[in-house]
Structure 1
Amino acid sequence: MSAETYRDAWGIPHLRADSPDELARAQGRVTARDRAWQLETERHRAQGTSAAFLGPEALSWDRLARRARLADTARRCFIALEEKDPETAAWVRAYVHGVNEGLALHRGGDGPGDREGPGDREGSHPLDGSPHRDDPRRPPAPEFARAALAPGRWEPWTPLAVWLATHILFAGFPAKLWREHITARLGPDAVALFAADGPGTTGSNGWLLSGERTTTGHALIAGDPHRWIEDPGVYQQVHLSCPEFDVVGLAVPGVPGVAHFGHTGTVAWAITNAMSDYQDLYHERLRRTGAGVEALGPDGTWRRAARHTETIRVAGEGTVEVEVIETDRGPVVAGGPEGLDDGTPAALSLRYPPRVTSDLGFGALLPLLRARTVADVDRALDAWAEPVNVVQAADTGGGLLHRVAGRVPVRAEANGLRPVPAWEPGHEWTGWHTPPRAGLADGAAVMANQRGLATPLGVEFAAPHRADRIAALLAGRRRWSAADLSAIHTDTHLGSAGPLLDRLTALTGLGPEATDLRDRVLAW
C-alpha cells in the first residue's frame, strides 16, 4: 500500500492512495501535521479535560461535556458502528491511526509519524512554482510548548466525540434555556421579543440552479457557510483520491471524509443549518437514597438513576469532582438532587438522538464519497443523524436534490419551547419525523436558515431577508454562469437594515451632533 500527498500553490493537500482505508490514514496524518493544536484542543473538549491545560476558564465546558456524556456517547456509537457497519468502523480506525502518526511529529520523539512510512511521499508546489518535498521533521506546533502540553493519543471513537462536541450546542437546547430565562425574568409575552427570527440574525446561505437557468445547461450549486472568524477554521480544504472515488471539498478536522460540502466529479452537495429542534430538556425531580439517586418518572414512580463521580483536573487549581447522573430521559446537565448552582431546587436532563439511538450518522460518510449521482447522495443522507441540515445537490446528468437530512424526534409541541416536566406524561419521544424534501420553483432553490422546507421540524428560524435577497438577485437574470454567481456571494446589501434606517429617517428634533451622525449613517 502507498499514499502520496501533493500540496498545490495554496498549500491545500491533495491525497492519493490505493484504498479508502489507506486514504483515510493519509488524511488523518496530514490533518495532524497541519492542525495538530486544533485536533488536541478538540480531543480535550470532547473528553471534558480542557481545563487541565487551559485553566479555570474551561471548567464550565468540561463539566458540561462530562455531564452530557459526550465521550461515553461517542464510545457507544462507535461500538454500534462496528457491529452494523464494520467497513466504516475500520475506515474511521484508519483515520485515527493516521492522526496518531501525524501527532507523533509534535511530541518531539521518534514516534511512528516522525518518518515517512513505506511508499508514503509528500511534496508541495509553492507559489514560486518550484516543487519540493516537505520536511517530515517539521517543527512541532508552537502552542504545545507554550501550554507545556504533549499531544495525547486518539482512540477509534475520538472522531465521533469531536463531532458531538462540535454540534452539541448547535440545536435546540440552548434556546430553550434562554426562553426559560426570559420567561422567569420578564414573563412569557417577552419571549417573542428575543426570537431568532428577528432582523439581527445571521446564518449560512446556499442556492441551486437547474440547467435551464445556466449558460452551460448544467446545474450550478453554491454553498456559503457563514462561520465566525476562526483561527484555525472549522473546515479544511482537501482533495481525496483512490480507485473508488475522487473528491474535493471541506473536511472537518478530526473527522474522516468530506461531510458538508463536496464534489465527486459528477455530483456535488452543500448544506445549511436546517434550524431544526431535535434536543429536549426535562425538569427532573431527583432524590438521594441510601443506594444512590432516584428520579420521578411520568408514571409517578421513582426509578433508580445511573450515577458516578468523575474528577476534572484544573491547571493551577488542583482537581474538581463532578457528579454525573443519568435518568431515563437522559444525562442531567444542570442541577441535581440539591438543585441548581444558584440554589434553585431543580435539575435539568438533556435528551439528544445519538444518546438514544447509539447512532451518530457516520454510516453516511463513505457512501457520500462514493456518490456519483444525486440518487447516491440521497441514499447516503438517509443515514445522516446530526446536525440536521438542509441539503442541496446536483449531478451532471441533470439530477437535483433539495431535502432535509437528519433525525428529529416526534413529541409534544411544548417540548420544543422550553424545558418540560419529566414527571408529567405526554412529553415522551414517539418516533421520528420523515425528513421533508421539495422540488425547485422556476429552476431555483434558496436556503438561508429561513422558514421553508424545514418549518415542521423547528421553532425559530432566521429572518427571511437573506433568502429573499438571493432569490431576487437570481430572478434578475434568466441564465447564470459560475463566474456570474460571485456577484451574489459578494453582495453587500443588508436587508435587515431597512427597518432601522426607516426609524433613523423618522427621527426629528435632534441636536447637531446627533443629526450629523444620523445623516452619515443614512448616507452610508
Structure 2
Amino acid sequence: MTARLFRDAYGVPHVRADTWLEVAGAQGRVTALDRGGQIQVEHWRSTGTLAEHIGAEGVPWDRFARAARLADTASRAYDALDAEDQDWVAAYVGGVNAVLPEADWPDWAPLGILHVAHVLFSDLPTLLWREHVDRALGPVLGDGAADLFQRDVSGSGSNAWALHGSRTRSGRPLLAGDPHRVIEIPGVYQQIRLAGPDGDVLGLAFPGVPGIAHFGHAGTVAWGITNAMAHHVDVFRELLRGTDAGGVEAYGPSGWEPAAVGRERIRVRAGAPADGGVGVGVGVGPGVDDAAGDRADESVDAFWVETRRGLVVAALDTLPRAGVETVAYAARIPARASADVGAAALRPLLRARSTADVVAAFGRWVDPVNRLLVADRDGTVLSQTVGRVPASSHAARRLPLDAWAEPGDEVWRPMPPAREVVETHVDANEPPEDAAVDLGYAYAAPYRASRIRTLLAELIEDRGPLDVADMPVVHGDTLSLAADALLRHLPDPSGAPLTDAAQALVTRLRRWDRRMDADSADAAVFAAWRAAVAARLSAHPALAPLHAEHGMGAVYDPWCDARGRIGDGILALVDGAAVVALGIDVRPLAREALEEVAAGEWGQADAPRWGDQHRLEPVQVLAGVPGATFVRLPPAGQSDVTLSGDSDTVRSAATTPGVSDLCWRGSVARWIWDLSDRSRSRWGVPFGAAGDPASPHATDQYAAWLEAATVPVVTAWDDLTEEPLP
C-alpha cells in the first residue's frame, strides 16, 4: 500500500497515494479515526436504525427514513454507478470498516450518508408548512394564505463571491464564502486534502462520503457553492385507501391505482438515552461504545407507501384500512426518481484542472440544486446552476399538487449554460435577476447579497485590487440592512405618548449604527424589541390557527413550528398585506413591545450587550448515544466567549426572534481560495478537525471562528507531519 497520511498544525489530514482507490481507502480510514462516532450516527440515520442505538427519541426519524426509503434509494443509486465509481466508493467503505470493524458498512453506505445530508435540505418541508398555512388561514386570506411566509428563510443559505483577476492584486481570480447550516458538533464539514496520480485537491468533505464535493481547490482550479433555492421536489396531495388484500391504492389521473407498500419493524433501545452534555466529539475511541446500557428489546411498526408520483412521506400515521380514504403527501425526490444521489460527480472533481472540468463534473450533480462559482488559473470565472429540477408547473413551487390532476412521470428541466464573470459576482440565495435561473419560489431577502456587493465595491475603491487579506472584512461584517424593515415601525412621535424610558430607547435605536456586534448594547435593545414584537405577533388571535397540530409528522416539527416561522419571518410579516388582511395592526404591537423592553433590564444603565444573550448552542450529533462523552463548551451566559452577527448579516449567526437569542445555525465553514497560489488560501470550521474530545484539535479553531477568522491552508508536504495510517 502506497497511501500515506500527513497532518498540519490543526490536525487536518492530508492523504496521498499512487492510485485513487488507495486514496479513497485512506480517506475512509482517517475519517473513521477522526469522525468515527459521527459517521456511525449518520449511517444509522440513513438506515433508519437510530432508535436501536439511542432509544425512543430516534423513532420519529427512523419512521421518516423508512417511509422515504433512504437506504433502498442509496442502494439503488450505488447499483446504478459505473464500475469504476462503485470500486472507488467501495474502497472508501473498506477503509472505514478496517478501522471500525463493528460498523460493517455495506458498499452503498456513503451514498446513504450523502442522501441523508440532502433529503430535507430542499423545499419539501417548506411546501408542507405552506400547506398547513393554507389550511389554517385560507378561510380568511383565501388563495393568498400560502404567500404569507414567502420570505421567512433568513436563517438558511450561504454566501459566496468571486473576484475576476482584473480585481485582484495577483491578477488571478479569488473565490470566497461561507455555507450556512445547522451548526453541529462534530462539524458538518471535514477539512481534508486528497492527492492521487493525476490530481491534488483540498477542501471540505462530508464525513462518511468519499471525495470533496461542495468546496475545493485543486491548484489550477477552485470552486464553491451556495443553495440556488430552486424548487426540486414535487409534492403531491394523495388520496389513499386500503384494500381487502391488505394493500394500498392511490387515486391518480386515471382513477384508483395500486401503490407499492411495505411493512417493517423498528428496534428501540430500552431505557433513557445517556446524557451526553454539551461539547464536541465522542470520547470512547474512534467509534461508539454501543455496549453501554441495555440492548434494544422493544420494537414499533413502520411502513412505506410508494405511488406512481413518489414516496408518501407526510401525514400518514398508519396504513389506511380497507375502504377508508385518507389524504397524505407524496414527494417525488430526484434521488429516488432517478436512482442517483449525485455521487458520480465526486470522482471527476479529484482530477479537475479547469473550469470546464468542474462544470462537467457538476453536470452529474442531483440535489439540492446549487449555484456553482468556479475559477481557474487561466483567469476564467464562471457561475453555473447545477442539479436536477423537475419541469413541473410554477404552481408546484408554491403548494402541493393534487395527485389526481397531475401526471406521474418525471421530466427534468435542462440547466442554462454557465455565465462568465468579468468583474465580481455574489451569490447569497437572493432572488436572481436572470429569469433563466429563477427556479424557486421562496428566496432569502437580498440583504446579505446587497451588503457583500457594497463591501467589495468599497474595498476596491479604497484599496484597489484585492487580496486574500481583504476577505475577512467581508466574512466578518455585522451591518444589519434588515434592521430597517423593523425600525420603520418604531412608534411615531405624533402618536400616543411613550414613557420616558421607552422614548429614550426610540432615540437610541434611531441613532444605532445597525451593527450586530457582540459588545453593542444598542444591538441588544433592538434584538429584545424584535423578539417582543415577534412574540406578540405569534400570540395574536388571528394567527392562532397556525399553532394547531400540523399533522405532517414529528420529523417536520422544526419547519412547522408557528413560533419559529413567525420569528424567522418577522421582518417581512410586519410589512405584509396579509397581516393587514388578518386584521392585525402592527403599530400597537410595536409600541407595547417597546414599553416592555424599556421596563426591563435593557432600559438600565448597565443593560446587557448583544453578546451577553447571543451565544452558540450547537446541535449534538452524538446526543443520546451510549458511551459518548463530550468536550464542554462554555455554557451560555457564563463565559467571556461572545458571538457577533445575526440572521441577515453577512456574518451569519442566526437566532429565532421571539423564541431564543441563542445561535444554532450559521456559518459552518469559511473558505478563501486564491488561484494565484493555493498556499495563500485559507479555511476554517467552527470547532476543529477532530471529533475525539481528547484530541488537541477538537476545538482549536473555535476562537478563530468566533472572530469570523480562518486558519492557513498548508500545501508543502515538507511542512506537514507524517503519521501512520490507522
Counterpart amino acid of residue 357 in structure 2: D
Measured in 2, the distance between the counterparts of 1:359 and 1:279 equals 14
Paired residues of 2:228 and 2:370 also in contact (CA < 8 A): yes
Counterpart amino acid of residue 150 in structure 2: A
Map 1:32-111; keep pairs closer than 5 Å: 32-81=32-81, 85-104=82-101
Distance 1:445 1:413, change over 3 A: same
TM-superposition CA deviations, 1:182-218 (whole Å, max 9, x none) = 11111243333322367x4443100011111111110
Measured in 2, the distance between the counterparts of 1:517 and 1:156 equals 61
Map 1:379-390; keep pairs closer than 5 Å: 379-390=360-371
Paired residues of 1:262 and 1:269 also in contact (CA < 8 A): yes
Paired residues of 1:28 and 1:95 also in contact (CA < 8 A): yes
Counterpart amino acid of residue 108 in structure 2: W
Match of 1:174 in 2: 125
Match of 1:370 in 2: 351
Measured in 2, the distance between the counterparts of 1:93 and 1:338 equals 37
Measured in 2, the distance between the counterparts of 1:344 and 1:62 equals 25
Deviation at 1:303, TM superposition (A): 2.1
Paired residues of 1:31 and 1:102 also in contact (CA < 8 A): no
Measured in 1, the distance between the counterparts of 2:329 and 2:501 equals 50
Match of 2:479 in 1: 493
User: After the TM superposition, which of the residue ranges 93-102 and 222-231 deviates more from structure 2?
Assistant: 222-231
3-state SS of paired residue (1:36)? helix
Measured in 2, the distance between the counterparts of 1:80 and 1:484 equals 45
Which one of 211, 216, 219 corresponds to residue 173 of structure 2? 219
User: After the TM superposition, which of the residue ranges 346-355 and 402-411 deviates more from structure 2?
Assistant: 346-355
3-state SS of paired residue (2:444)? coil
TM-superposition CA deviations, 1:122-151 (whole Å, max 9, x none) = xxxxxxxxxxxxxxxxxxxxxxxxxxxxx5
Paired residues of 1:411 and 1:427 also in contact (CA < 8 A): no
Measured in 2, the distance between the counterparts of 1:45 and 1:280 equals 23
Deviation at 1:501, TM superposition (A): 2.5
Higher RCO by CA contacts (8 Å cutoff, separation 6 or greater): 2
Which one of 313, 326, 340 corresponds to residue 333 of structure 1? 313
Map 1:230-379; keep pairs closer than 5 Å: 230-316=184-270, 318-336=298-316, 345-379=326-360
Distance 1:356 1:312, change over 3 A: same
Q: Does 1:25 align with 2:25?
A: yes
Deviation at 1:36, TM superposition (A): 0.8
Deviation at 1:286, TM superposition (A): 1.8
Q: Does 1:191 align with 2:172?
A: no
Map 1:450-465; keep pairs closer than 5 Å: 450-452=430-432, 455-465=437-447
Counterpart amino acid of residue 348 in structure 1: Y
Quote the sequence identity (%): 45
Paired residues of 2:242 and 2:249 also in contact (CA < 8 A): no
Deviation at 1:237, TM superposition (A): 0.4
Deviation at 1:52, TM superposition (A): 1.3
TM-superposition CA deviations, 1:449-506 (whole Å, max 9, x none) = 1111574311111111111111111122152111112211111112111222232374
3-state SS of paired residue (2:384)? strand
Distance 1:479 1:422, change over 3 A: same
Distance 1:335 1:194, change over 3 A: closer
Measured in 2, the distance between the counterparts of 1:103 and 1:506 equals 65
Paired residues of 1:297 and 1:424 also in contact (CA < 8 A): no
Deviation at 1:238, TM superposition (A): 0.5
Paired residues of 1:286 and 1:293 also in contact (CA < 8 A): no
Match of 1:118 in 2: none
Measured in 1, the distance between the counterparts of 2:416 and 2:40 equals 35
Measured in 1, the distance between the counterparts of 2:262 and 2:250 equals 19
Map 1:388-467; keep pairs closer than 5 Å: 388-425=369-406, 428-435=409-416, 437-440=418-421, 443-452=423-432, 455-467=437-449
Which one of 495, 502, 515 corresponds to residue 514 of structure 1? 502
Deviation at 1:432, TM superposition (A): 2.5
Match of 2:561 in 1: none
Counterpart amino acid of residue 490 in structure 1: G
Paired residues of 2:385 and 2:415 also in contact (CA < 8 A): no
3-state SS of paired residue (1:171)? coil
Measured in 1, the distance between the counterparts of 2:268 and 2:231 equals 34
Counterpart amino acid of residue 404 in structure 2: W
Deviation at 1:439, TM superposition (A): 2.7
3-state SS of paired residue (2:438)? helix
Measured in 2, the distance between the counterparts of 1:519 and 1:59 equals 51
Deviation at 1:328, TM superposition (A): 1.0
3-state SS of paired residue (1:14)? strand
- Return 5+ residue gaps in structure 2 as ranges: 271-296, 513-521, 523-726
Paired residues of 1:225 and 1:272 also in contact (CA < 8 A): yes
Deviation at 1:326, TM superposition (A): 1.1
TM-superposition CA deviations, 1:217-261 (whole Å, max 9, x none) = 101111211233321111010011122211110010010011000
Distance 1:370 1:179, change over 3 A: same
Deviation at 1:173, TM superposition (A): 0.9
Measured in 2, the distance between the counterparts of 1:254 and 1:474 equals 36
Measured in 1, the distance between the counterparts of 2:470 and 2:10 equals 24
Measured in 2, the distance between the counterparts of 1:438 and 1:266 equals 20
Counterpart amino acid of residue 43 in structure 1: H
Paired residues of 1:52 and 1:315 also in contact (CA < 8 A): yes
Paired residues of 2:16 and 2:23 also in contact (CA < 8 A): yes
Measured in 2, the distance between the counterparts of 1:444 and 1:386 equals 26
Map 1:475-490; keep pairs closer than 5 Å: 475-476=457-458, 477=460, 478-490=464-476
Counterpart amino acid of residue 145 in structure 2: A
Measured in 2, the distance between the counterparts of 1:66 and 1:274 equals 28
Paired residues of 2:240 and 2:326 also in contact (CA < 8 A): no
Measured in 2, the distance between the counterparts of 1:193 and 1:287 equals 33
Distance 1:22 1:290, change over 3 A: same
RMSD of the alignment, in Å? 2.1
3-state SS of paired residue (2:181)? coil
Measured in 2, the distance between the counterparts of 1:505 and 1:395 equals 53
Distance 1:16 1:360, change over 3 A: same
Distance 1:203 1:361, change over 3 A: closer
Deviation at 1:339, TM superposition (A): 6.0
User: After the TM superposition, which of the residue ranges 388-397 and 222-231 deviates more from structure 2?
Assistant: 222-231
> TM-score scaled to structure 1, two decimals?
0.85
Measured in 1, the distance between the counterparts of 2:315 and 2:392 equals 24
Deviation at 1:438, TM superposition (A): 2.3
Distance 1:506 1:3, change over 3 A: farther
Match of 1:132 in 2: none
> TM-score scaled to structure 2, two decimals?
0.62
Distance 1:464 1:42, change over 3 A: same
Paired residues of 1:410 and 1:430 also in contact (CA < 8 A): yes
Counterpart amino acid of residue 189 in structure 2: Y
Match of 2:116 in 1: 165
